[in-house]
Amino acid sequence: MADLKLYYFPTSFYSQKALLTLFEKETKFREQIVLLMKGEQNEPWYMKVTPKGTVPALEVPGTVLTDSEDIVNYLDKQLDTGTKLIPSTETKIGQEVEKWRKQFNALNIGVITYGTVFYPELSTTGIKVPAAIRKSLDAAKESMRNGRKTLQEKADKYPEHREDFLAKMNMHDERVGKMENKELVIQYLNELDTLFDQIESRLAETRKEQGVADSWLVGSRFTMADINLVILLDRLSFLGMEARYFTPSKRPLTYDFYVRMGKRKSVQQLREKFQSVSKIMLGRMLKKSIPVVVGVLGVLAGVFYWKGRAK
Ligand SMILES: N[C@@H](CCC(=O)N[C@@H](CS)C(=O)NCC(=O)O)C(=O)O
């Protein structure tokens, strides 16, 4: 079996895609949490793992994969254990999976997530934030705004990674610009409504085609399209958006999909990861103030998520 090591943070959306795939493949892997709250993704040791300074990254024999899409493609191709997630695109089902993956990957989850954190009034029922750390949100927003300065300091301090930090700085500026643009965030949320109409229709079509009630997005078999969908639903649940996008009366098939997902072992394993780490994070956050880092919002997201799940 290939020696695999995953660098990740449990509440990071793209880390979740990699983690859920590893669980579906029922494979052993080594793991290292990259503490976004401490800005570890920008530490020289991690920039050596991936000059992008993002999670997830997967060490595989001979190389490091630094994008969640490359990671899941690799895992499904190389491992013949667990669920086969990506059918050949020479088949009709493979083309459907590919089509849905593209649609999900085109979503700007960062802007949707942090845009809702910046403008909490956009959340339908409120982000799942425990009162005890509600105040920390302001500090987190400030940290996001100070990200440019932090990256500039890193670029000056570590000349061997200067270009990588400057590249991150440009991306950071673009991202923050979008997150702070309320109209754009609203537009992305509206586009999600359209996507969910398509999802609901597809779920209905698949049920009809398969003649069973427990089919998945594109067929009777569970695929990568389902992984993409469940992590999106989890994210929207954390953002307090279930009432807008999926309830028993509004898009009941999507709601049913979500309920069935909660019974799946891999999804339970993924959610356990959130819980265990978020508890540690909460302890740390209560002990000391959060340093100014680009990724601090990710940690808050994790803590809130855990709290929400624990309800
Ligand atoms: N396209 C990449 C995106 C990875 C990404 O943006 N990861 C975020 C967390 S979800 C991250 O590491 N952010 C920290 C940073 O940019 O400093 C993938 O699919 O893996």
pLDDT of residue 300: 59
pLDDT for 138 equals 63
Tokens of 301: 């997201």
**Strand, coil or helix: what is 107?**
coil
- Residues paired with 148 in a beta bridge: none
Residue 158 pLDDT greater than 80, yes or no: yes
Atom from ligand 1 closest to the CA of residue 172: 16
Most ligand 1 atoms within 8 A of CB, residue of 6, 11, 14, 34 to mutate: 14
Q: Where are the alpha helices (DSSP H) in the chain?
A: 13-24, 44-49, 68-78, 92-105, 109-118, 136-145, 147-157, 162-179, 182-210, 224-238, 242-245, 252-261, 265-287, 296-310
Mean pLDDT for 240-252 is 96
What does the pLDDT look like over 275-306, one tens digit per residue? 766 665 666 666 655 454 546 566 656 555 56
CA–CA distances in Å: residue 147 to residues 41, 109, 176, 283: 13, 19, 9, 24
CA distance 211 to 246: 23
Q: What are 26-38's pLDDT values in tens digits?
A: 999 999 999 887 7
What pLDDT shows up at residue 8?
95
12 C-alpha to ligand 1 centroid (Å): 7
CA of 155 to the centre of ligand 1 (A): 19
- pLDDT bin (cut points 50, 70, 90) of residue 19 is very high
User: For 171-177, what is the mean pLDDT?
Assistant: 91
Digit-coded pLDDT (tens) for 85-132:
999 999 999 999 999 999 999 999 999 998 998 899 999 888 876 544
Q: Cα separation of 170 and 173, whole Å?
A: 5
pLDDT at 307: 59
Question: Cα of 77 to ligand 1 centre, how many Å?
Answer: 23
Instruction: Give the pocket of ligand 1 (CB within 6 Å).
Output: 12-14, 36, 41, 53-56, 67-69, 294-295, 298
- pLDDT of the residue at 308: 64
Q: How far is the CA of 187 from the centre of ligand 1 (A)?
A: 22
- For ligand 1, atom 9: residue with the closest CA: 12
- Residue 193 corresponds to which tokens in the numbers above? 């409504």
Q: Is the pLDDT of residue 133 over 80?
A: no
Task: Name the phi and psi angles at 9, rounded to 5.
Answer: -130, 130
Question: Mean pLDDT, the chain, as a whole number?
Answer: 89
- Protein residue with its CA nearest to atom 11 in ligand 1: 54
Share of the chain above pLDDT 90, in %: 73
Residue 164: is its pLDDT beyond 70?
yes
Secondary structure (3-state) at 47: helix
Question: Contact 179/144 with Cβ under 8 angstroms?
Answer: yes
| Torsion sign across C-alpha atoms 227, 230, 236, 238 | negative
Residue 96: Cβ within 10 Å count: 19
